[in-house]
Amino acid sequence: MSIFMGYRNYRILKQVHTFENLITKETKENGIAEYSDLAMSIIFTESKGLGEDPMQSSESLSNTPGTIKTSEKSVKQGVAFLAEAIKRAEAEHTDLWTAVQAYNFGLDYISYVAKNGGKNSVELAESYSRDILSPKLGNEEKKQYRYLAWRSFIYNGGYLYHNGGNMFYADLVRWNLYKIQWTKGMF
């Protein structure tokens, strides 16, 4: 099993690193050059570097999934949105991981965290997902669905809220950031 997981991660990292030059260009243009590895870890988290929209940034552009049809446009939009989230998080005196979680939840999450201690946590992300985002997007009953990732299994038995984004998103990106940094220059 560990050999399979190692090989799978190798293939994913190799694919994600193909975006390194484009990410470097876009992060420089958006004034967040120091966050290029973070942007790559978002690609790892969102799509494993596959598909037309590797940063899954269609929704930040048009509120509709699948509208972006080229990886270049996806990276351009995704990095611009990440830059906006980082700048807004700094302006509202929240931590970087609030900006990262906002990449998944939307920018309103930043104000929510600012009013609730200024630091992202899974507990805060869960309350936002359950009480604000999920009902706003039609899940007034706060229905959940199975999400079997190690972090969610430990936290709540493996559940997310329908239409509530992923409350573990910042943790996933953080873990994938370590992988990106560890393999930098290998491919």
At residue 4, does pLDDT exceed 80? no
Q: What is the average pLDDT value for the chain, to the nearest integer?
A: 95
pLDDT category, 31, cuts 50, 70, 90?
Answer: very high
Q: What pLDDT was estimated at residue 37?
A: 98
Phi, psi of 146 (to 5 degrees): -65, 135
In three state form, how does the secondary structure of 38-79 look?
A: HHHHHHHHHHCCCCCCCCCCHHHHHCCCCCCCCHHHHHHHHH
Q: What pLDDT was estimated at residue 32?
A: 98
Q: What pLDDT was estimated at residue 6?
A: 78
At residue 33, does pLDDT exceed 90? yes
Each domain of the chain, given as residue ranges in start order, spans: 2-183
The CATH topology of domain 2-183 is: Lysozyme (1.10.530)
pLDDT digits (tens, 9 = 90+) for 128-183: 999 999 999 999 999 999 998 989 999 999 999 999 999 999 999 999 999 999 99
At residue 1, does pLDDT exceed 80? no
Q: What pLDDT was estimated at residue 64?
A: 85
pLDDT category, 65, cuts 50, 70, 90?
Answer: confident
**Which token pair is 23?**
């990410």
pLDDT category, 52, cuts 50, 70, 90?
Answer: very high
Residue 49 CA to residue 29 CA, distance in Å, equals 21
Query: CA nearest 168: which of 108, 104, 113?
Result: 104
Phi, psi of 160 (to 5 degrees): -130, 165
Q: What pLDDT was estimated at residue 120?
A: 98
pLDDT digits (tens, 9 = 90+) for 109-129: 999 999 999 999 999 999 999
Residue 76 CA to residue 141 CA, distance in Å, equals 36
pLDDT category, 186, cuts 50, 70, 90?
Answer: confident
Q: Name the percent of the chain lying above pLDDT 70.
A: 99
Secondary-structure breakdown of the chain: helix, strand, coil percentages, each rounded to the nearest 5 = 65, 5, 30
The pLDDT of 76-105, averaged and rounded, is: 98
